[in-house]
């Protein structure tokens, strides 16, 4: 039997597992395609799984269902999410994965216990958009020397954009003082700059964080901000490097992100 894997949790968070060595159903929790979700005991850990058919297609809706199961487990335990689409071909491959990586799993659980992820989206005006558009148009018609000058100018503008994004990121860090953070920046289709900021905080400090967000929204008048969370710590789970031949992700061999 193949198992679809959602996440790894602490076995002690589910007292019913202490009396069982075989998978037991999680009451009132349904997984992808409405499949029953099971607690699969593995040493000091519990793997949250559901039965999986090799012909079963994983749709966008399945991705939402995957995240919902992880969020449900997060209410009662520290969790280490698996990547969407992680499937173990049978019981042995699942047990082997946990056995081979148990030390890393336990280390991650200890490091993330009592922590939660808050997600900030910060939209900024692109200070260089008009200049870059003009330089790009000139670059198509200019001489070789002009072309090189335009390339240098474009590089300068790109650095200015990065500097602005970095300054906003530092300001966010000072305001929220997270335990850890992950930041990415990209341009939107509308020509804005979007900062995706994930902050790791103590779960007990969620309300304080939300209050800081309210204050930051008033201070950062030149930004559009959006907050979501608390979430399981998706961005702060160390990726394993050990590969398992019988675990795959949408048909491609992969590594559980845990």
Tens digit of each residue's pLDDT (9 = 90 or more) over 17-72: 877 778 998 888 889 988 899 999 988 899 999 998 877 778 888 999 999 999 99
- How do residues 80-99 score in pLDDT, each as one tens digit? 999 998 999 889 999 999 99
- How do residues 142-171 score in pLDDT, each as one tens digit? 556 676 776 776 666 667 767 777 888 888
With CA atoms as reference, report the closest residue to 223 among 153, 121, 146: 121
Structural domain contains residue 21 = yes
Global pTM? 0.74
Structural domain contains residue 98 = yes
Q: Is residue 244 pLDDT above 50, yes or no?
A: no
Residue 182 — very low, low, confident or very high, per pLDDT cuts 50/70/90? very high
> What value, to the nearest 5°, has the Cα angle with vertex 108 and ends 186 and 117?
40
- How do residues 103-127 score in pLDDT, each as one tens digit? 999 999 999 999 999 999 998 876 5
* pLDDT mean across residues, the chain: 81
Structural domain contains residue 162 = no
Q: Are 242 and 96 in contact (CB under 8 A)?
A: no
Q: Is residue 137 pLDDT above 90, yes or no?
A: no
Residue 214 — very low, low, confident or very high, per pLDDT cuts 50/70/90? very high
Structural domain contains residue 19 = yes
At 17 the pLDDT is 81
Structural domain contains residue 97 = yes
Q: Are 116 and 205 in contact (CB under 8 A)?
A: no
Q: Are 32 and 62 in contact (CB under 8 A)?
A: yes
Structural domain contains residue 120 = no
What's the whole-number mean pLDDT along residues 212-241? 84
Which of 90-104, 197-211, 232-246 has the highest mean predicted lDDT (pLDDT)?
197-211
Structural domain contains residue 40 = yes
At 165 the pLDDT is 78
What letter does residue 164 receive in the DSSP assignment?
H
Residue 255 — very low, low, confident or very high, per pLDDT cuts 50/70/90? very low
Q: Are 4 and 255 in contact (CB under 8 A)?
A: no
At 254 the pLDDT is 31
CA distance 118 to 130: 33
Structural domain contains residue 219 = no
What letter does residue 17 receive in the DSSP assignment?
G
At 163 the pLDDT is 78
At 213 the pLDDT is 93
Q: How many domains does the chain have?
A: 1
At 231 the pLDDT is 95
Query: Between 240 and 241, whose confidence is greater?
Result: 240
Name, in order, each residue with C-beta under 8 angstroms of 30's C-beta and a sequence gap of 6 or more.
Answer: 36, 37, 65
Peptide bond before residue 120 is cis, with ω within 30 degrees of 0: no
User: In Å, how far are 23, 52, 173, 194 from 187, measured between CA atoms?
Assistant: 46, 38, 21, 6
Which structural domain, as residue segments, surrounds residue 243? 2-114+236-253
With CA atoms as reference, report the closest residue to 256 among 73, 117, 87, 42: 87
At 252 the pLDDT is 29
Q: Are 248 and 87 in contact (CB under 8 A)?
A: yes
Question: CB 147: neighbour CB atoms within 10 A?
Answer: 14
Residue 240 main-chain phi, psi, to 5 deg: -75, 155
Q: Is residue 139 pLDDT above 90, yes or no?
A: no
Q: Is residue 242 pLDDT above 70, yes or no?
A: no
Work out the burial of residue 172: count CB atoms within 10 Å of its CB; fewer than 13 is exposed, 13-18 middle, 19 or more buried: buried
What letter does residue 187 receive in the DSSP assignment?
E
Residue 43 main-chain phi, psi, to 5 deg: 60, -125
């Amino acid at each position: 039997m193949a198992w679809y894997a959602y996440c790894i949790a602490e076995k002690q968070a589910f007292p019913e597992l202490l009396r069982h060595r075989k998978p037991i159903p999680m009451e009132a929790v349904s997984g992808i395609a409405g499949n029953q979700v099971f607690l699969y005991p593995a040493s000091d850990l519990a793997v949250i799984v559901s039965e999986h058919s090799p012909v079963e297609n994983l749709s966008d809706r399945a991705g939402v269902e995957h995240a919902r199961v992880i969020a449900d487990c997060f209410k009662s335990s520290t969790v280490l999410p698996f990547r969407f689409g992680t499937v173990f071909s049978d019981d042995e491959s699942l047990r082997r994965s946990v056995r081979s990586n148990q030390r890393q799993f336990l280390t991650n659980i200890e490091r993330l216990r009592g922590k939660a992820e808050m997600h900030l989206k910060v939209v900024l005006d692109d200070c260089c958009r008009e200049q870059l558009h003009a330089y790009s148009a000139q670059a198509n018609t200019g001489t070789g020397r002009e072309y090189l000058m335009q390339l240098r100018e474009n590089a300068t503008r790109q650095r200015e954009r990065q500097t602005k994004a970095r300054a906003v990121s530092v300001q966010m860090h000072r305001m929220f003082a997270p335990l850890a953070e992950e930041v990415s920046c990209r341009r939107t289709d509308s020509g804005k700059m979007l900062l995706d900021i994930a902050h790791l905080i103590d779960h007990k400090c969620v309300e304080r964080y939300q209050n800081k967000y309210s204050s930051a929204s008033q201070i950062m008048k030149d930004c559009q901000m959006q907050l979501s969370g608390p979430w399981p710590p998706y961005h702060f789970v160390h990726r394993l490097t050990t590969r398992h031949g019988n675990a795959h992700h949408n048909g491609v061999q992969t590594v559980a992100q845990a």
